[in-house]
Amino acid sequence: MSIPMAILNDLTKCLGCRSCQVACKAWNHLPGLETSNRGSYENPPKLTYDTWTRIRFVETQREGRLEWVFSKRQCMHCLDPACVAACPENALSKTPSGPVIYDRSRCVGCRECGRACPYGFPRFEHTSDPRMGKCFMCADRMAVGMAPACSHACPNGALLFGPREEMLAQAKERLKRDPAKYVAHIYGEKEAGGGSMLILSPIPFAQLGLPALGEKSVARLAPYPLLPASPLSLGVVAVVGGVRWISRRREAIRQNLSAKCQDVD
């Protein structure tokens, strides 16, 4: 049986170097984005279909001095994911080891997963055949005993990877050992039923832009669908599903004819 794994993100140790961002792009073969100076050191400006993790630069003051807190944002890999419950095609699934993974071949681009996620992490490509892009916690690396690319690349130990229970124990030990250094809470331990991303912070989590959530899983607040599906999204599912069925049918016929031609030869 797989052991649930997790990443512990200690923001007091983050240097803002963005090695995690680069490693994520490199390992997953995600294209870079040409950006411009917007008056902020944050780059790229937001999570997208091709950007699965990014560092937020949060300004704060302590004893009259400006200080930075660097906050990594990515999919929280909920223990009971709302995105999985909302997907009508089972394109998303939660693995026993922790990652929430995605099967592009099943996705119809309805975007219900993005509407259901309390963190707003599933992002979409804007094309005629839209699909969702999100962090999958490097499930391929984990399958062969490797740590996710982001945690492996972190030069200062801000990202620790290991069994979830051990990461929780590590976080609790840090809170106990140095209570003045942290907000007395482990974000992700119980939020929305808990997740595989755990965060320690020196400032309130609201200042980081993280939502205040209860302990109950969002996926269990209501039967499927989690949110009322709009007529437009239902229409998209119907149309895209029909187009995909026709495409698959044509491909099956083409392959059948090709096989028959080979038999004749």
Q: What confidence tens digit (pLDDT) does each residue in 27-53 have? A: 999 998 888 887 788 888 889 999 999
pLDDT of the residue at 22: 96
**Averaged pLDDT, 164-192:** 97
Q: Which domains does the chain have, with CATH numbers?
A: 5-78+136-216 (3.30.70.20), 82-118+220-264 (no CATH)
pLDDT of the residue at 133: 87
Q: What confidence tens digit (pLDDT) does each residue in 85-103 have? A: 999 999 999 999 999 999 9
pTM, rounded to two decimals: 0.81
Check if the beta carbon of residue 59 is closer than 8 Å to that of residue 185. Answer: no
Tokens encoding 80: 């009971």
Q: What confidence tens digit (pLDDT) does each residue in 72-88 have? A: 999 999 999 999 999 99
Residue 123, beta-bridge partner list = 133
**Averaged pLDDT, 195-206:** 97
pLDDT of the residue at 246: 53
Q: Please give the distance of CA 241 from its chain centroid, rounded to a whole number.
A: 25
Based on the number of CB atoms within 10 Å of its own CB, is 255 exposed (0-12), middle (13-18) or buried (19 or more)?
Answer: exposed
